[in-house]
């Protein structure tokens, strides 16, 4: 069954980022270590190119992300957190199977997009593979430029964006709202992006700007920036789905917020997940 959700103005994109900062600064080092842990797990498949390890790391992604979200939820509840809290979803009975299923869906979509990318950019790949050390690099660059199709790039970006939007809110819906129907959760996630395009665009703009500003410093500031963005996005989930009550794995929520309290609650960063 479809979940009810709120619709917000563009300015709330800024409010969600501020709320993310408010939660992050409570225990910044712990959140930074959690993000580093997520990155390390994500890089394992590139360091150890073993199909089994690659699959395990891919399926672990949803568990680690909701572990991060649940840590933010505990901070909002006035509790302290530690790095090991990011692993709690692996031991949460009643929710692990759906997270595992969602991970399989994500893995399947990633494989489909990988095949599509190889088909769309096959001429570029061929130009790179046929390159020899004694060949003029300028000629290779010209061949690649001729092989690139901006329409193919646009198609791939559009499909990649749709996939990201489909899973973005589906993940917390599956875990915190216990949505067992993965397709329904993905559909709901896409609907949320459609109806909250303005605030999410503002939030995405803030994220893009911060990432660009970190580029001259070799993206090192992302260790500080990304945890705030993770938390801010989870706050947006809490705000958008604030009409429904649920429970974190550490206890019940404090109750639903009324529509009249929605603005003040959003700005403080405290919602029921």
- How distant, in Å, are the alpha carbons of 161, 196, 215 from that of 225? 21, 23, 12
| Residue 131, pLDDT score | 64
Q: pLDDT (tens digit, 9 = 90+) per residue, 181-202? A: 999 999 999 999 999 999 999 9
pLDDT, tens digit, 9 for 90 and up, residues 38-81: 999 988 888 887 888 888 988 999 999 999 999 999 999 999 99
User: Distance (Å, rounded) from C-alpha 201 to C-alpha 57?
Assistant: 30
Q: Is residue 159 over pLDDT 60?
A: yes
Q: How far apart are CA 156 and CA 52, in angstroms?
A: 27
- Residue 103 is predicted with a pLDDT of 93
Per-residue pLDDT reduced to its tens digit, 103-129? 999 999 999 998 888 887 776 666 666
Q: Is the overall model pTM greater than 0.85, yes or no?
A: no
Phi–psi pair at 248, nearest 5 degrees:
-85, 170
End-to-end CA distance of the chain: 18
- State residue 266's pLDDT score: 43
Max distance between CA atoms of the chain, in angstroms, equals: 70
Structure tokens at 113: 């997009």
Tokens of 127: 């130009």
CB-side neighbour CA atoms (13 Å) of 54? 10
What percent of the chain has pLDDT above 70? Answer: 78
Beta-bridge mates of residue 251? 248
Cα Rg of the chain, angstroms: 20
Can you read off the two tokens belonging to residue 197? 């395009």
CB atoms within 10 A of CB 54: 15
pLDDT computed for residue 54 by the predictor = 85
Whether the CB-CB separation of 75 and 30 falls below 8 Å is answered with no
Looking from the CA of 183 toward its CB, the CA atoms found within 13 Å total 0
pLDDT at 132: 61
């Amino acid at each position: 069954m479809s979940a009810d959700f709120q619709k917000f103005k563009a300015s709330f994109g800024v409010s969600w980022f501020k709320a993310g900062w408010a939660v992050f600064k409570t225990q910044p080092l712990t959140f930074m270590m959690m993000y580093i842990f997520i990155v390390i797990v994500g890089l394992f498949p590139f360091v150890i190119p073993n199909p089994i390890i690659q699959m395990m790391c891919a399926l672990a992604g949803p568990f680690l992300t909701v572990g991060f979200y649940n840590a933010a939820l505990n901070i909002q509840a006035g509790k302290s957190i530690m790095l090991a809290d990011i692993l709690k979803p692996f031991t949460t009975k009643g929710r692990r199977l759906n997270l595992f299923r969602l991970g399989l869906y994500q893995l399947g979509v990633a494989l489909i997009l990988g095949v599509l990318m190889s088909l769309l950019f096959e001429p570029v790949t061929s130009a790179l593979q046929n390159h020899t050390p004694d060949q003029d690099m300028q000629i290779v660059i010209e061949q690649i430029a001729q092989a690139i199709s901006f329409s193919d790039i646009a198609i791939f970006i559009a499909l990649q964006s749709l996939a990201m939007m489909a899973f973005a809110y589906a993940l917390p819906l599956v875990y915190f709202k216990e949505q067992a129907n993965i397709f329904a959760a993905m559909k709901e996630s896409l609907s949320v992006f459609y109806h909250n395009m303005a605030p999410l665009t503002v939030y995405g703009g803030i994220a893009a700007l911060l990432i660009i500003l970190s580029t001259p410093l070799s993206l090192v500031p992302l260790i500080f920036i990304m945890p705030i963005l993770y938390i801010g996005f989870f706050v947006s989930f809490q705000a958008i789905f604030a009409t429904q009550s649920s429970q974190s794995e550490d206890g019940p929520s404090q109750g639903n917020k009324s529509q009249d309290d929605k603005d003040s609650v959003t700005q403080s960063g405290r919602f029921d997940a």
